[in-house]
């Protein structure tokens, strides 16, 4: 397919993408037939099947898939492969969804990519009312296609694709990967994926392909058994954490020091790697690092050239903004996109082990489709001061007065009364920027501010925090 002339501007390209159906912004229950792999296959075929131009690592999971994908991509780049990384959602700029060797595409590339996909999208849109229509391509489908086209245009030899939602019906699942990865299974998006860990695991395991190795970071028996069974059914050779490989985590020796993956060990053979520095903190990131190393080692077995030095370099430099991201301040600020119970538990473990003895102030907002009560039960005992707010750029936010009321109910409900303390103060702010500035102004020496509860809250506040702390 010949490249058309670019659309008029970067702003016009963004406007076109914003006009597409976007389930990252829509209510949490899209129509039953919203996800169709046939539509994605047709779109990519019209674009020359860019997914066939690169060797692919396909990564799914409830939590940890973004961090694991970033670690794998960073190591592949360090090994000399020109590597694309597709991830979602983006934090601030849509171009963050498709990085090549860690670099953003220039604004003019976005305009060009939109012009390329728009020709095919217009044709599918024109067919949308016919009896055999595949429907209108969505925002996520278009950005997936744009990423693959960008990787082809940039001459990538490898691409790491992070699943957006689930796995079986995700638009990334049209690829034929060299290896698949499932990081963890926990409760999230239950209205779409199911309300049991087994059901959610079944959706994630939908990315497994016949004969394609899979690396699994799932330790819980119920979802692990589902994935193991699916791997046997399709003939996908499987290695799993706790059975085929293990790890140990060494926290930073001081709050701003580097954490380490003390060792990653593969049972039954001679390979191990110790003292691997991590750019991201927490025992859960060490687990992600072990999964990334296992994936890279399986790629070596399939003929890829990835020396241990590249693995070390890759994990030491791989970052994901707003994943327990620490800014030294003052005040010290921790931004985390934690938005479900599992990710909040990981955040609290880091606060308790690596920031022990330090008091903190929490800025919290959440989406309506999340287990807010489950998150608050874990967060409230850790903070004496809470600033309830909402994000303003996405309609899924919960009113801060509702959050404050829910917290009050939790504090007064048995058996929570003794576990959840009333706190120094709890205030409500309709604008997250105001909440941040109030918390910053009230923070005492030695206190930290934690921003958590939603990816969208992190997206709105992170640029402000970076700008205002750097100019202080």
- Check residues 270 and 385 and name the one with the higher pLDDT: 385
What pLDDT score was predicted for residue 342?
A: 87
- Check residues 192 and 357 and name the one with the higher pLDDT: 357
Partner residues linked to 58 by β-bridges: 161, 180
Residue-wise pLDDT tens digits, 396-432: 899 999 999 999 888 777 554 444 454 458 999 999 9
Residue-wise pLDDT tens digits, 78-119: 999 999 999 998 999 999 999 999 999 998 999 999 999 999
What pLDDT score was predicted for residue 114?
A: 96
Nearest to 168, CA basis, from 220, 208, 203, 116: 203
The stretch 354-359 carries a mean pLDDT of: 85
Residue-wise pLDDT tens digits, 236-255: 999 999 999 999 998 887 66
Sheet holding 425-428, edge to edge: 325-327, 332-335, 448-452, 360-364, 385-388, 425-428
What pLDDT score was predicted for residue 132?
A: 74
Residue 1 has pLDDT above 60, yes or no: no
Residue 433 has pLDDT above 60, yes or no: yes
End-to-end, the C-alpha distance of the chain in Å comes to 51
What pLDDT score was predicted for residue 34?
A: 53
Q: Provide DSSP, 450-468.
A: EEES-HHHHHHHHHHHHHH
- Average pLDDT of the chain, as a whole number: 90
The stretch 163-168 carries a mean pLDDT of: 89
What pLDDT score was predicted for residue 191?
A: 61
Q: Provide DSSP, 109-149.
A: HHHHHHHHHHHHHHHHHHTTTSTT---PPPHHHHHHHHHHH
What pLDDT score was predicted for residue 59?
A: 98
Determine how many CB atoms are found less than 10 A away from the CB of residue 88. 21
What pLDDT score was predicted for residue 268?
A: 75
Residue-wise pLDDT tens digits, 19-78: 998 877 765 455 444 556 999 999 999 999 999 999 999 999 998 999 999 999 999 999
In this structure, are residues 454 and 391 in contact, taking their beta carbons and an 8 Å threshold?
yes
Helices 65-78 + 308-317 axis angle, to 10: 130
Structure-block tokens of residue 462: 């992170």
What pLDDT score was predicted for residue 202?
A: 93
What pLDDT score was predicted for residue 8?
A: 64
Distance CA 272, CA 263 (A): 7
Residue 199 has pLDDT above 80, yes or no: yes
Residue-wise pLDDT tens digits, 140-150: 999 999 999 99
**Domains recognised in the chain with CATH numbers:** 10-317 (3.40.1190.10), 325-470 (3.90.190.20)
The stretch 9-24 carries a mean pLDDT of: 89
In this structure, are residues 91 and 70 in contact, taking their beta carbons and an 8 Å threshold?
no
The stretch 165-169 carries a mean pLDDT of: 87
pTM for this one?
0.91
Residue 303 has pLDDT above 90, yes or no: yes
Residue 216 has pLDDT above 90, yes or no: yes
Residue 326 has pLDDT above 90, yes or no: yes
């Amino acid at each position: 397919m010949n490249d058309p002339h670019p659309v008029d501007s970067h702003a016009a390209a963004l406007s076109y993408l914003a006009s597409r159906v976007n389930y990252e912004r829509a209510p949490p229950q899209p129509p039953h037939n919203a996800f169709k792999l046939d539509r994605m296959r047709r779109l990519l075929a019209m674009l020359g099947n860019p997914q066939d131009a690169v060797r692919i690592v396909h990564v799914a999971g409830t939590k940890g898939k973004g961090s694991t994908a970033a670690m794998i991509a960073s190591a592949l780049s360090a090994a000399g492969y020109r590597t694309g990384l597709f991830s979602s959602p983006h934090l601030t700029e849509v171009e963050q969804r498709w990085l090549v060797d860690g670099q953003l595409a220039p604004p003019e590339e976005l305009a060009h990519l939109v012009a390329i996909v728009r020709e095919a999208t217009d044709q599918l849109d024109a067919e949308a009312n016919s009896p055999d229509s595949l429907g209108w391509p969505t925002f996520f489908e278009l950005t997936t296609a744009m990423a693959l086209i960008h990787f082809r245009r940039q001459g990538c030899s490898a691409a790491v694709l992070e699943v957006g939602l689930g796995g079986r019906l995700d638009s990334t699942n049209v690829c034929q990967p060299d290896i698949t990865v499932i990081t963890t299974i926990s409760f999230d998006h239950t209205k779409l994926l199911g309300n049991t860990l087994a059901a959610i695991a079944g959706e994630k395991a939908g990315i497994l392909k016949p004969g394609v190795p899979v690396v699994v970071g799932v330790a819980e028996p119920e979802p692990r058994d589902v994935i193991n069974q699916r791997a046997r059914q399709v003939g996908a050779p499987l290695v799993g954490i706790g059975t085929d490989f293990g790890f140990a985590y060494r926290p930073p020796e001081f709050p701003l020091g580097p954490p380490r993956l003390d060792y990653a060990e593969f049972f039954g053979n001679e390979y191990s790697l110790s003292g691997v520095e991590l750019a991201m903190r927490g025992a859960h990131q060490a687990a992600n690092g072990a999964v990334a190393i296992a994936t890279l080692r399986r790629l070596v077995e399939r003929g890829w050239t990835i020396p241990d030095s590249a693995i070390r370099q890759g994990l030491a430099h791989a970052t994901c903004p707003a994943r327990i991201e620490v800014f030294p301040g003052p005040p010290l600020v921790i931004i985390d996109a934690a938005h479900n119970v599992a990710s909040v538990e990981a955040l609290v473990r880091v606060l308790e082990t690596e920031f022990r003895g330090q008091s903190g102030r929490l800025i919290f907002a959440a989406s309506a489709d999340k287990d807010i009560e489950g998150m608050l039960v874990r967060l409230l005992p850790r903070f004496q001061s809470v600033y309830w707010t909402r994000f303003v750029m996405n309609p899924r936010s919960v009113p801060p007065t509702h959050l404050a009321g829910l917290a009050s109910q939790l504090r007064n409900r048995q058996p929570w009364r003794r576990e959840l303390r009333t706190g120094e103060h709890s205030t409500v702010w309709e604008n997250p920027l105001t909440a941040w500035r109030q918390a910053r102004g009230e923070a005492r020496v030695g206190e930290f501010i934690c921003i958590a509860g939603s990816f969208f809250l992190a997206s709105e506040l992170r640029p402000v925090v970076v700008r205002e702390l750097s100019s202080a």
